Amino acid sequence: MIFFLKGLMDIVTTSIEGLLIIEPKIFKDRRGFFMETYNRQKYEGAGITDIFVQDNLSYSLKNTLRGLHFQIRHSQAKLVQAVFGEIFDVAVDLRSGSATFGRWTGERLSDKNGRQMYIPKGFAHGFCVLSESALFSYKCSDFYAPDDEGGIIWSDQDINIKWPVEDPVVSEKDKQYKKLSTLSSAQLPSF
């Protein structure tokens, strides 16, 4: 379902409650384009009330796959977008008691479509790069805590994410993560 926020952006709901796709209005002309990537008042009007405290920028080459990451005690809501290139972005619901626990949603985000994904607290997150390279930007509602990292193996057959890359380039750390079914509730994000 799509609903509009005073013509400023479209909010697309997904099959997972709380997980949203944002399509900001893009003003284009012969010089290029302009778009607002975040405006607290407008996003609050769409129900996104998190206070973002940290911005991150990631540069990756084609076929790179990062994820599936989360923080355990310092769970983060995220607002993510590709500012250059194209990625396939994925969020997996890890919220205890959720009707969609263990389900995933994926979306192509690019500098061409301007889409963003809002990921609430309690999700694992990952992405893969579809273009030759990509710059990926994301806002977080809590600070990164290296000693609080958690993750799920990107290829977990029970989750069955349909990654649109073959033979992805994955870090050694990400290769060591376990399947979701092997994690205890204490190893999953609290929110």
Q: Domain of 72: which CATH number?
A: 2.60.120.10
- What digits encode the pLDDT tens for the residues 73-85? 999 999 999 999 9
Predicted confidence at residue 111, as pLDDT, reads 95
Q: Does 74 qualify as catalytic in the annotation?
A: no
Distance of CA 17 to the CA centre of its chain: 14
Element (H, E) at 88: strand 86-93
Which among 74, 118, 125, 138 is annotated as catalytic? 138
pLDDT of 143 over the 50 cut: yes
More confident residue, 9 or 30: 30
List the structure tokens of 60: 């990756």
pLDDT surpasses 50 at 32: yes
- How far is the C-alpha of 91 from the C-alpha of 105, rounded, in Å? 6
pLDDT band at 46 (very low <50, low <70, confident <90, very high): confident
Give the rounded percent of residues in the chain with a pLDDT score beyond 90.
86
> What domain range is 34 assigned to?
2-187
Question: Which residue in 43, 69, 118, 177 is the catalytic one?
Answer: 69
Q: Is 69 a catalytic residue?
A: yes
**Beta carbons within 8 Å of 186's beta carbon, 6+ residues apart:** 72
Distance CA 138, CA 158 (A): 27
pLDDT of residue 5: 47
The mean pLDDT of the chain is 94
The segment with the largest mean pLDDT, out of 10-14, 20-24, 43-47, 127-131, is 127-131
**What's the total number of domains in the chain?**
1
Q: Order the strands of the 65-71 sheet from edge to edge.
A: 104-110, 86-93, 123-129, 65-71, 149-151
Two tokens, residue 13: 């709901």
pTM as predicted: 0.93
Q: What residues contact 142, with CB distance under 8 A and at least 6 apart?
A: 53, 54, 71, 74, 75, 76
Q: Which of 20, 84, 28 is nearest to 48 (CA)?
A: 20
- Bridge partners (DSSP) listed for residue 56: 138
- State the pLDDT at residue 4: 45
